[in-house]
């Protein structure tokens, strides 16, 4: 095994104790409030990771605009790390042992170099994203530019992190509620291979909870199988995201969905879970609501037995085909990713970015499983188009609201069997 980052070591210790690491995605512009959030998460009780989520100006490289917002007291939707003074950033982390309580910077930028440089000045070495997953859904930056920027960003983080650099791919969350899991698993593996190619030696592979627990379990087991095959000498773990689509409106429904994600994480062997709160459909959650979600998830995961690994699945077959086809295109992972999207061999459904073919479409079957309705040019087995009533807009709305309806209307929400 090569170098293990502080986050990697922290997660490995939790794994040895059969503890699920839980994490929120909170971000506040005010340094005092952001520090209060970190302190509350650290002291919540479960094994936790802290998060500093950045604002949208910083994500898009508008650092001067973020600075003006700080000066004028304008409300921001996250922490403007690059634009805050060194004094504010130092106070944010003063006295915090990042080996005992790792803190991850979450940002959403297709060009992360300045974010990484600023992180490193204050001892922060853990982040996330990727050249595809932080480009196609969130920006108009050409994919080629994002790939080049992320290659430089990885090298900056690897060189400055002194062995503690860690990157989590967001590839397994690409419009996650609309993508069949084979594509999500493939993108997660491919982005981690890109990180490794550019100097990162500790990574985490992401997957977003979808609409069928058994399909999600198959996907995570496939992700672990492929990580073992493609990242044999790298420190890695798997992180699950509680459902990222339209969230249940009722407190009971939202709580049940959160618990199901925690049970899924434990059953599938995920080491870390990014949680949602019970107020996701209503407003930005408070610190207390984030802490409550961490505790609910940790309690739900406790004692859930690990499922046996499956010998193979449709998800594993699809993801393997996408990964192998992509890697065969060019000599580097970055060039291969660019070529795969240009040729439509990777194609994210409903994604309108100019470098995505957008020829693929999906459907949710009667069991809640996500399936391909149209596979475009991707190298996947042909599937018969689903026989679905209603127009395309109606079907899309039904897909987006599937889990909201499932958890808000069922008298006894589904829980995974042990």
In 3D space, the residue among 86, 106, 117, 93 whose CA is nearest the CA of residue 26 turns out to be: 106
Structure confidence by residue, pLDDT tens digits, 92-146: 999 999 999 999 999 999 999 999 999 999 999 999 999 999 999 989 999 999 9
CA distance 225 to 232: 11
Q: Cα 273 to chain center, whole Å? A: 10
pLDDT in tens, 236-286: 999 999 988 777 888 888 898 999 999 999 999 999 999 999 887 778 899
The whole-number pLDDT of residue 391 equals: 46
Weakest mean pLDDT among 75-79, 174-178, 214-218, 251-255? 174-178
- The confidence band for 394, taking pLDDT boundaries of 50, 70 and 90, is low
Q: Is 390's pLDDT higher than 50?
A: no
**Virtual torsion, Cα 384, 390, 393, 397, nearest 10 deg:** -90
Give percent above pLDDT 90 in the chain: 78
Mean pLDDT on 328-347: 98
pLDDT for res 395: 55
Q: How confident is the model at residue 363 (pLDDT cuts 50, 70, 90)?
A: confident
Output the CA torsion sign for 205, 209, 213, 216. negative
Question: Residue length, the chain?
Answer: 418
| 142: CB partners within 8 A, 6+ apart | 354, 355
Q: Where are the domains of the chain?
A: 6-301
**In contact, 187 and 171? CB cutoff 8 Å:** yes
Does the pLDDT of residue 418 top 70, yes or no? no
The backbone torsions φ and ψ at residue 48, rounded to the nearest 5 degrees and listed phi first, read -125, 160
User: How far is the C-alpha of 277 from the C-alpha of 289, rounded, in Å?
Assistant: 6
- What's residue 414's pLDDT? 43
What number of CA atoms fall less than 13 Å from residue 191's CA on the CB side?
Answer: 31
Burial class (CB in 10 A: 0-12, 13-18, 19+), 142: middle
Q: What is the pLDDT of residue 100?
A: 94
Q: Residue 411: its pLDDT value, please?
A: 35
Report pLDDT for 175.
80
> CA-to-CA distance for 263 and 339, rounded, in angstroms?
38
Residues ≥6 apart with Cβ < 8 Å to 319: 181, 182, 183, 185, 186, 189, 222, 223, 226
Q: What is the mean pLDDT of residues 402-415?
A: 52
Q: Report how far residue 384's alpha carbon sits from residue 382's, in angstroms, rounded to the nearest whole number.
A: 7
Secondary structure letter of residue 331 according to DSSP: S
Q: What is the mean pLDDT of the chain?
A: 90
pLDDT at 383 over 70: no
* Least confident among 54-58, 64-68, 265-269, 387-391: 387-391
By C-alpha distance, which of 88, 93, 94 is closest to 105? Answer: 93
CA angle 241, 50, 131 (to 5 degrees): 55
The predicted pLDDT at position 416 comes to 46
pLDDT score at 245: 77
- Model pTM score: 0.93
Q: What is the pLDDT of residue 281?
A: 73
Domain spanning 6-301 has what CATH number? 3.20.20.240
pLDDT tens-digit readout, 302-312: 999 998 777 67
Could you say which DSSP state residue 47 is in? Answer: -
């Amino acid at each position: 095994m090569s170098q293990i980052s502080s986050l990697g070591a922290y997660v490995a210790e939790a794994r040895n104790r059969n503890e699920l690491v839980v994490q929120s995605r909170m971000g506040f512009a005010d340094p005092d409030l952001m520090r209060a959030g970190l302190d509350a998460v650290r002291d919540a009780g479960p094994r936790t990771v802290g998060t500093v989520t950045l604002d949208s100006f910083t994500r898009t490289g508008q650092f001067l605009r973020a600075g003006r917002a700080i000066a004028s007291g304008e409300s921001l939707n996250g922490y403007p790390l690059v634009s805050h003074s060194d004094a504010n950033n130092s106070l944010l982390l003063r006295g915090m042992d990042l080996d005992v309580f790792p803190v991850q910077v979450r940002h959403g930028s297709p060009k992360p170099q300045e974010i990484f440089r600023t992180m490193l000045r204050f001892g922060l070495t853990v982040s996330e994203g990727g050249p595809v997953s932080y480009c196609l859904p969130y920006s108009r930056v050409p994919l080629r530019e994002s790939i080049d920027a992320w290659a430089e960003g990885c090298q900056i983080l690897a060189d400055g992190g002194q062995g503690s650099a860690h990157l989590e791919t967001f590839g397994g969350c690409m419009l996650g509620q609309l993508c069949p899991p084979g594509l999500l698993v493939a993108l997660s593996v491919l982005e981690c291979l890109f990180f490794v190619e550019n100097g990162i030696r500790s990574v985490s592979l992401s997957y977003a909870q979808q609409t069928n627990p058994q399909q999600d379990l198959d996907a995570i087991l496939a992700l672990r199988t492929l990580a073992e095959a493609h990242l044999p000498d790298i420190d890695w773990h798997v992180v699950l995201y509680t459902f990222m689509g339209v969230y249940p409106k009722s407190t009971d429904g939202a709580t049940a969905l959160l618990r199901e994600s925690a049970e899924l994480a434990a059953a599938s062997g995920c080491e870390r879970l990014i949680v949602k709160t019970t107020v996701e459909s209503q407003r930005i959650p408070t610190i207390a609501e984030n802490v409550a979600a961490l505790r609910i998830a940790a309690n739900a995961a406790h004692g859930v037995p690990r499922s046996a690994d499956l010998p193979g699945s449709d998800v594993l077959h699809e993801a393997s085909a996408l990964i192998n086809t992509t890697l065969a295109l060019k000599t580097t992972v970055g060039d291969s990713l660019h070529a795969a999207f240009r040729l439509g061999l990777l194609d994210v459904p409903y994604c309108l970015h100019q470098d995505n073919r957008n020829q693929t479409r999906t459907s949710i079957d009667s069991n809640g499983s996500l399936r391909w309705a149209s596979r475009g040019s991707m190298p996947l087995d042909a599937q018969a188009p689903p026989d679905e009533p209603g127009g395309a807009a109606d079907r899309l709305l039904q897909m987006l609201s599937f889990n909201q309806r499932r958890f808000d209307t069922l008298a006894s929400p589904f829980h995974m069997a042990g």
